[in-house]
Amino acid sequence: MSLELNYELLVALLVLTTAGWSVAARDSYSATVGFVSYGLLLAIVWMQLQAVDVALTEVAIGSGLTGLLLLGAAARLRAAEARVVARPSAMLRVTAALACAGLSVALAYTVLSLPRAAPSLAAEAVAALPATGLGNPVNGVLMAYRAFDTLLEKVVLVLSLVGVWSLAPDAGWTGRPRLLHPFADDGVLPFLARTLPPLGLLLGVHLMWNGADEPGGAFQGATVLAAMWLLVLMAGLGEAPQVSARWVRAAAVAGPATFLAVGLAGMGVAGAFLAYPEPHAKALILFVEVPMMLTIALVLALLVAGPPESAPGR
């Protein structure tokens, strides 16, 4: 076994350990911390698999934003969860463990018996890339070849925001989401919230702009923007917008609406839904990506912020 595989074995073991921890830890807060570390380690795995775009997404959304969401929930449910004492019977746990191990073995067998000549669309993806004006094949798939998936995914984001808002208590409907961090007063968080956002803004726009040719893209850039905004909100330096504000609703649908409009225009100009007329493909993709990035940033942040609450006298 080579030295390199030893390193990979170590990473795989760490991934499995943190995964096991986030299932087995007694306290949900510890489990969530385990889950965040798990996401970071998983990003190393994605780097090893030569999928830099996925690694960026995993760090930003899978580990970062999901972690923030879960930490907030774990903190709010801590007292109630402490009263949960019952564990399922040993019999049930053993049966479940056997069933899950069986599933894992079946999946492992599938992995080991994958065809030796792996099917791949890489050559086709690279061959058609010049027509899109992009240099990053992953972005080519997202914005051109499988643009329909990306469009629907934006719709899913907006729908889940509608879902989250619909869970607002009656009194909160015209209010704002509130996510003041319990440690907001200790100075470090407000300091970071004052110093980081300019850099974060630059990094976010850079990731989006550079995503055309290098790893990165609208998603990863938007997540950085969302994180900066959440930092400001949690430090108490800004207020989340009222969910009934018109600009919030307009911004939430701007991305998918532009995408849909360009897609429909493609029917007339390029002969198919979501097709780009070739010489203008790059310009159109950018035209779609900019409002999309704003929508993603806004929706991701508001999904973490949760439903609006009635404003208490704070």
Partner 1 sequence: MNPATLYGLCGAALVGIGLYGLLTEPRLLRKIIAFNLVGSGVFLLFGVVARRGADAGLGGDPVPQALVITGIVVAFSATALAVTVLLRLHEAGGGVSFDDRAGDEGKERTTS
**67-86 positions binding partner 1, by CB under 8 A:** 69-70, 73-74, 76-77, 80-81, 83-86
For partner 1, which is the closer residue by CB, 145 or 265? Answer: 145
- Contacting residue, 37, 40, 132, 140, with partner 1 by CB under 8 A: 140
What is the distance between the alpha carbons of residues 165 and 73, in angstroms, rounded to a whole number?
16
For partner 1, which is the closer residue by CB, 2 or 313? Answer: 2
Structure tokens at 174: 């015209």
Structure tokens at 14: 């760490």
For partner 1, which is the closer residue by CB, 237 or 275? Answer: 275
Closest CA to 21 of 7, 34, 5: 34
Site string for partner 1, 183-222 (x = CB under 8 A): ----------------------------------x-x---
Q: How far is CA 142 from CA 30, 134, 172, 216, 270, in A?
A: 35, 11, 37, 12, 18
With contacts defined by CB under 8 A, name the span among 15-23, 195-203, 244-252, 283-291 that binds partner 1: 15-23
The answer to whether 208 and 222 are in contact (CB under 8 A) is: yes
What is the distance between the alpha carbons of residues 249 and 127, in angstroms, rounded to a whole number?
40
Q: Is 212 exposed, middle or buried (0-12, 13-18, 19+ CB in 10 A)?
A: buried
With contacts defined by CB under 8 A, name the span among 57-65, 189-197, 244-252, 285-293 that binds partner 1: 57-65
The answer to whether 275 and 147 are in contact (CB under 8 A) is: no
Question: Could you identify the residue written with the tokens 């992995």?
Answer: 111
What is the distance between the alpha carbons of residues 218 and 259, in angstroms, rounded to a whole number?
13
Q: What is the closest distance, in whole angstroms, from the C-beta atom of residue 268 to partner 1 in the complex?
A: 27
The answer to whether 62 and 35 are in contact (CB under 8 A) is: no
Q: How far is CA 214 from CA 25, 66, 102, 143, 226, in A?
A: 39, 25, 41, 14, 21
Closest CA to 299 of 157, 179, 178, 153: 157
Q: What is the closest distance, in whole angstroms, from the C-beta atom of residue 265 to partner 1 in the complex?
A: 23
Q: What is the closest distance, in whole angstroms, from the C-beta atom of residue 271 to partner 1 in the complex?
A: 23
With contacts defined by CB under 8 A, name the span among 143-151, 192-200, 258-266, 274-282 that binds partner 1: 143-151
User: If binding is defined by CB under 8 A, does position 87 make contact with partner 1?
Assistant: yes
- Contacting residue, 33, 40, 53, 263, with partner 1 by CB under 8 A: 53
User: If binding is defined by CB under 8 A, does position 54 make contact with partner 1?
Assistant: yes
- What's the one-letter identity of residue 147? A
Binding to partner 1 in span 99-138, by CB under 8 A: 99-101, 103-105, 107-108, 110-112, 114, 118-123, 125-127, 137-138
- Contacting residue, 40, 42, 212, 285, with partner 1 by CB under 8 A: 42
- Contacting residue, 169, 187, 198, 238, with partner 1 by CB under 8 A: 169
- Contacting residue, 142, 234, 288, 293, with partner 1 by CB under 8 A: 142
Site string for partner 1, 269-308 (x = CB under 8 A): ---------------------------x---x--xx-xx-
The answer to whether 255 and 292 are in contact (CB under 8 A) is: yes
User: If binding is defined by CB under 8 A, does position 37 make contact with partner 1?
Assistant: no
